[in-house]
């Protein structure tokens, strides 16, 4: 399918792509995009409190559990997923991860990339992941990086999905994606993250309120929304 459009999601931990971008993933998959998730860590140290409470938990068992969940959620949403397994709290990203990320940008030549917000005082892996996704996005343009490689690449628009406490992250959405058509899928993906049941309701409420805001801002009827903040100016041919 040479002309298949593609989308890329770069997240620090498995839960992030579900809560924050699950609608975008499912929606574009449904539209025929090839959607790929790069999941930098399994969130094994910092985002798996529930798993560590189980008797006999080890780093490997926790990672395996989170990996399984993430794979099932990605599949349910219609995306493929690649794990960098770089470790979390903090992320330990090295040059090999950097080069692999650049390769993915070039392999995929995505029409959009989604990642975390610029700041997050509650979770330093998030801005690190955002910075990593941004910097590799630029380096992928550099012909002097792996010179001679064959690829077609144009740096895609960069959208930042919503953090848990947006105002504390100085996050200001400028775009709301209507996700009504895939809401059930997104909610089912929530349910794969069984141990974080307390977040199901939280992010359902976020989706409903973003939906109302989308409606109020534009008059477009919608029930569920996903908020994004754009990093670069876009070009348009018509304002109306």
Closest by CA to 82, choosing from 16, 37, 33, 128, is 37
Q: Site for a copy of itself (CB under 8 A): which residue of 64, 90, 187, 188?
A: 90
- Helix 183-192 / helix 22-30 crossing angle, nearest 10 deg: 130
Residue with tokens 């998030």, as numbered in its chain: 126
Length in residues, the chain:
240
> Closest separation between CB of residue 51 and a copy of itself, Å?
8
Q: How many positions of this chain bind a copy of itself (CB under 8 A)? A: 91
CB of residue 82 vs a copy of itself: minimum separation in angstroms? 20
Q: Does 2 bind a copy of itself (CB under 8 A)?
A: no
Q: Is 30 in the site for a copy of itself (CB under 8 A)?
A: no
The answer to the question of residue 100 lying near a copy of itself (CB under 8 A) is no
Task: Give the range of 67-75, 77-85, 129-137, 187-195 binding a copy of itself by CB under 8 A.
Answer: 129-137
Task: Rule CB under 8 A: say whether 172 interacts with a copy of itself.
Answer: yes
| DSSP element (H, E) containing 159 | strand 158-161
Residue 90 CB, shortest distance to a copy of itself, in Å, is: 7
**How many Cα atoms are found within 13 Å in the side-chain-facing hemisphere of 100?**
14
Q: Token pair of 188, please?
A: 């089912």
């Amino acid at each position: 399918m040479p002309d298949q459009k593609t989308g890329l999601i770069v997240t620090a931990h498995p839960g992030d792509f579900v809560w924050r971008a699950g609608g975008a993933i499912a929606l574009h998959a449904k539209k025929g995009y090839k959607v790929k998730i790069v999941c930098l860590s399994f969130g094994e140290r910092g985002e798996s409190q529930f798993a560590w409470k189980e008797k006999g938990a080890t780093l490997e068992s926790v990672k395996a559990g989170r990996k399984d969940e993430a794979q099932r959620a990605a599949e349910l949403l219609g995306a493929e997923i690649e794990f960098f397994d770089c470790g979390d709290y903090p992320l330990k990203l090295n040059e090999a991860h950097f080069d692999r990320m650049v390769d993915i940008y070039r392999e995929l030549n995505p029409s959009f990339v989604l990642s975390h917000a610029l700041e997050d005082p509650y979770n330093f892996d998030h801005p690190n992941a955002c910075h990593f996704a941004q910097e590799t996005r630029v380096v992928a343009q550099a012909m002097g990086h792996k010179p001679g490689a064959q690829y077609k690449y144009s740096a895609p628009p960069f959208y930042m999905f919503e953090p848990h406490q947006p105002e504390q992250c100085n996050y200001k959405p400028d775009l709301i994606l209507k996700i009504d058509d895939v809401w059930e899928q997104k909610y089912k993906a929530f349910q794969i993250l069984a141990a974080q049941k307390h977040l199901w309701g939280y992010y359902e409420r976020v989706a409903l309120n973003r939906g109302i805001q989308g409606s109020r801002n534009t008059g477009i009827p919608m029930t569920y929304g996903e908020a994004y903040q754009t990093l670069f100016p876009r070009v348009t041919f018509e304002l109306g």
